[in-house]
Amino acid sequence: MNATTQTLPFQAEVKELLDLMIHSLYSHKEIFLRELISNASDALDKLRVEGLKDPQLFEGQESLWIRLEPDSAKRTLAVIDSGIGMTREEVIANIGTIASSGTRRFLKEMKDKRQPGEELPGLIGQFGVGFYSAFMVADEVVLETRRAGQAKGVRWTSRGDGSYTLEEIEREERGTRVTLHLKALDEEEAGAKDFTEEWVLREIVKRYSDFVEHPVQMEVERLEAKEGDEDGEREKVTKLETLNSMRPLWTRPRAEITKEEHAEFYKHLAHDWEPPLEAVHFKAEGTLEYTALLYLPKRRMPGLFDPEAAKSRVALYVKRVFITDSSEELIPAWLRFVRGLVDSADLPLNVSRETLQHARQLGQIQKRIVGKLLETFQTLLKDRREDYESFFEAFGPVLKEGLWYDDTRRQELAAVCLFRTSKDGSFTTLAEYVARAPVGQKAIYVLSAPDLESAKRSPHLESFRKRGQEVLLLVDQVDEFAMQRLTEFEGKPLRSVAKGELELENAEDAKAAVETATKEHGALLAAAKEELSGEVGDVRFSARLVDSAAVLVSEEGALAPHVERLMRESGQSAFAPPRKERILELNPSHPLTARLSTLAQEDRARFGDYLDLLLGQALLAEGSPLPDPSRFASLVTGLLVGDKAKS
């Protein structure tokens, strides 16, 4: 290194750095209470660990608690704990030094000293910045603490301006008291909360710290009847109440948890009045350790199909502290009806502990969760068919979204999906359909329709019914899109009976009728195609029909008409495949065919009217709107009175 080269430390403007951290690190002001409670919880755990080696640290008081003391008159809020406390040197290192974590140092020391097989305590803090979130809501913060076993305490005071004061104090209790001198309440601020209000503090503790291991307590005032007062006069009584449940059900062995406990916890978690259909509880160990407790609801929740709410509803906890209720990487959107949580000690949170630093670990968790849920669906389908059908009726349309989105799990998911059948309208699986199919059937036949009744009445089923052949009825809006990705199952392609030229097995008689009619009535087809030019792409004879005179067929790859119409009405037509003209198929065995053939040669005006009636009839049969209802009504009226229909 020459004389002109120097190695210098970075310089930091502490006030600016602190200001940036306070106002940019956290997205919600209420987070400060989660951070302070987490710090207090760590202090209690440290005392418990060190107290195992030196019981005198408890100083005759072994109770471990966290206490909130709001004062609306003074506009202060204190967070107090009976934990390990800090010495003057520890206050300077932990609080007076930004981004210095006493918890991190403590864990490192424990790790260096631990014996083989000894578990580390599940402490929360790791970055050493959570404490400063208090300045989001406070003009001044006063910390008073005494370390267990020490004679004197210390007071730390700061206004978050880059400096602080320290003084030695007399303090009888061990542990720490953090007093926030709250900023004036800005009533014009949207969603502003008064952090001295009991209900506000209850709500925050319930949301973020409900499962912290130690009791979070607060004195509350209640009106109660005076003891022995026959007149029922009431008086104000102050009671110490615990705000958090401290009941992390998921930490207990699965075999020890009763159905009643699952039901109670699920209702608390999902705000549902019914117990869940099923609980899925498992623990993963190894390089990434976590516990998952998931619930399948019985009934559909409001907003399930709201695009703005199409996200995970599984909460993420780290060491029992709530992080988020909507981690998009934790569970795919097509399982958004699942409620529950995942708790891990290994996930790398960002500094604010609001999001993860990267999602590789979450990807591993999601893969395991999806696999477990698919196993659960399969078990329910096999052992509790009636319950599963009820569940699928509520959540099947969401579950089927996975057929479109999940390339790796598509076949597994398809195996647990249910579809209505033309046989009797009941639910069936694809595997059950394949097992029942006649020998030689090469495809799985499906029909997309806006609802079950429309599907049952569809003319497209006539030929299949005549031969006793089953068709799956796709009556969920998502089915049409799902089938674009699920093109085969167990080696059999899925074929729509309403699209393309259908190759039917064991239908030689129908095929022969089509060939014969095409030869005999070629002029009819040519005239009909010319007459309906611009309305349909082609006119041909059909092997699909038995009783109906005509039916409309779409090209392969086209969307079903009801789905295309829905997308157009909702302004999403730009995302649909290019629109293709449909095909009008005529029944070669219907008496009307001969009548149309005669009219095509002798009366083209009436021929055109009859074709318009047939086209309108085919549209109505599939549930599509008429392009000109008034003209159709006029043609029907003319036909009824026996006069020549007029346009």
Give per-residue pLDDT as tens, 38-78.
Answer: 899 989 999 998 998 899 999 999 999 999 999 999 999 99
Indicate the range of 2-16, 133-147, 324-338, 428-442 predicted with least confidence: 2-16
End residue of a domain, out of 242, 270, 289? 242
456 pLDDT more than 70: yes
CB atoms inside a 10 Å sphere around CB 215: 18
Provide the pLDDT for residue 577.
60
- State the CATH number of the domain containing residue 290: 3.30.230.80
The span from the CA of 334 to the CA of 202, in Å, is 33
Chain centre to alpha carbon of residue 280: 16
Within 8 A by CB and 6+ apart from 137, the residues are: 29, 32, 180, 182, 183, 195
> Band of the pLDDT at 149, cuts 50, 70, 90?
very high
- State the CATH number of the domain containing residue 567: 1.20.120.790
Mean pLDDT: which of 120-129, 143-152, 588-597 is highest?
143-152
In a domain, 367, yes or no: yes
Within 8 A by CB and 6+ apart from 305, the residues are: 397, 398
Provide the pLDDT for residue 645.
43
Question: What is the rounded average pLDDT of the residues 500-517?
Answer: 80
Percent of the chain exceeding pLDDT 70 equals 85
List strands edge to edge, sheet with 66-71.
Answer: 165-169, 153-158, 138-146, 175-182, 76-81, 66-71, 216-225, 234-242
The span from the CA of 375 to the CA of 144, in Å, is 53
> Band of the pLDDT at 321, cuts 50, 70, 90?
confident
In a domain, 56, yes or no: yes
57 in the same domain as 187: yes
**CA angle, 198 then 268 then 283, to 5°:** 120
Give me the count of residues in the chain.
Answer: 647
pTM, to two decimals? 0.76
In a domain, 401, yes or no: no
Provide the domain limits for residue 187.
14-224+233-242
237 in the same domain as 258: no
Provide the pLDDT for residue 458.
92
In a domain, 444, yes or no: no
Question: What is the rounded average pLDDT of the residues 325-340?
Answer: 86
Provide the pLDDT for residue 176.
96
End residue of a domain, out of 389, 406, 437? 389
* β-pair partners for 48: none
Chain centre to alpha carbon of residue 496: 31
238 in the same domain as 303: no
> Band of the pLDDT at 110, cuts 50, 70, 90?
very low
271 in the same domain as 210: no
Question: What is the rounded average pLDDT of the residues 544-548?
Answer: 90
102 pLDDT more than 50: no
In a domain, 570, yes or no: yes
Provide the pLDDT for residue 129.
64
Taking all residues of the chain, what is their mean pLDDT, rounded to a whole number?
84
Give per-residue pLDDT as tens, 217-236.
Answer: 999 988 877 776 666 677 88
In a domain, 468, yes or no: no
Beta strand 538-541 with 583-586 is parallel
101 pLDDT more than 80: no
Within 8 A by CB and 6+ apart from 337, the residues are: 296, 297, 300, 301, 304, 313, 394, 395, 398
Give me the helix-helix angle, 102-113 and 31-53, nearest 10°. Answer: 30
